[in-house]
A and B are shown apart, each in its own frame.
Chain A
C-alpha cells in the first residue's frame, strides 16, 4: 500500500490517495490555510509538492512490476501553472512516459472540480539506481 509510504510532509499537508486511474494512484489534498498562497488561492509550491508526490507514486506503481527494487532520485521538475487553484479539493495523477533502466520521465496533471481542465502540469525526471 502506497499510503503507508507517504512522507511526513505529505501527511502534514493532508495529502492522501483518492483512487486509481488506469493503475496510477490519484492523490488529493483538501484546501486549508496550510496550503493557501495569496488569499483564496492554493500556493503554487504546495501544488507542486502534491504533483511531485503523485509523480513518484505513479513511477512506484510502474516499477512495482519489475523484479529488482530501485532507489529514486529526482533530477528536476518543470511546472506549468495554467489556472489558479481555488478553495476546494485538488487532485493530481502522474503518468510514466518512459521508464528505462537509468532514468524515468513522468508527466503529472493537477485539477480540481473538472478533470478536463487541469490547473497545472509538471514534468519530472527521476534517476533510477539499484537499491543498496
Chain B
C-alpha cells in the first residue's frame, strides 16, 4: 500500500505507530531538513535522533549545535509521545515549551531527543523530555510543555 503523505490523511481508528509516522514526519518540511529520524519508543515516550551537521551549528568556529534544531526535535518527539500515549493521531498545537540548557552538545555527536507524555486529559497533554548526546544521565537539555487538541479530543 502507498504511504499516506501526511498524518492528517490517516484514518482516525489507526493505532499511532511512531516508527512509521516518523518516516512521514521526517521526509518533508523542517524535520526532513534537520535530518531527524526515529530512534526508539515505549508506551508513552518516543526518541528521535538528530545527527550533527556543520550547517546546524550555532557558532561556526566551535561547531556546537544551535539550540533551534534541539527545540525542533523536542517539539516533534514530545508531540509524537502524546499520540503514542493516546494510541492515535489527534491534530494538536503546541501551547508552550520551556527548555533548560544543561550544557552544550559535543560537536560531531548525534543528539537523541526523548519526549514523554506524562498526563493526558481530554484536551490538554502534558509533556517533558530530555536531549542527550551520549548518556541520558548527563543531558544536554530538559524540556517541559503542553499541547492542546485542536480538532477533537485525546481521550
- Contact between B99 and A77 (Cβ–Cβ < 8 Å)? yes
Pick the interface stretch among B38-46, B53-61, B117-125. B53-61
- CB contacts under 8 Å to A, within B26-57, are 28-33, 54-57
| Size bracket of the B interface | 35 or more
> Which residue in A12, A39, A74 is a CB contact (below 8 Å) of B101?
A74
CB contacts (< 8 Å) of A80 on chain B: these are 95-96
Q: Given contacts A44-B94, A45-B75, are A7 and B58 in contact (CB under 8 A)? A: yes
- Contact between A43 and B72 (Cβ–Cβ < 8 Å)? yes
Q: Mark A74-87, 1 if CB is under 8 A from B, else 0.
A: 11111111001000
Q: Given contacts A77-B99, A78-B96, are A46 and B56 in contact (CB under 8 A)? A: no
B interface residues with partner A (beta carbon < 8 Å)? 6-8, 28-33, 54-60, 65-69, 71-76, 91, 93-101
Least Cβ–Cβ distance between B109 and chain A, in angstroms: 16
* Bound Cα distance A76, B76 (Å): 19
Count A interface residues, CB 8 Å: 33
Say yes or no for A30: interface residue by CB 8 A criterion.
no
* Bound Cα distance A44, B96 (Å): 10
> Which residue in B8, B33, B69, B97 is a CB contact (below 8 Å) of A44?
B97
- Contact between B68 and A9 (Cβ–Cβ < 8 Å)? yes
Q: Given contacts A39-B6, A81-B94, are A48 and B68 in contact (CB under 8 A)? A: yes
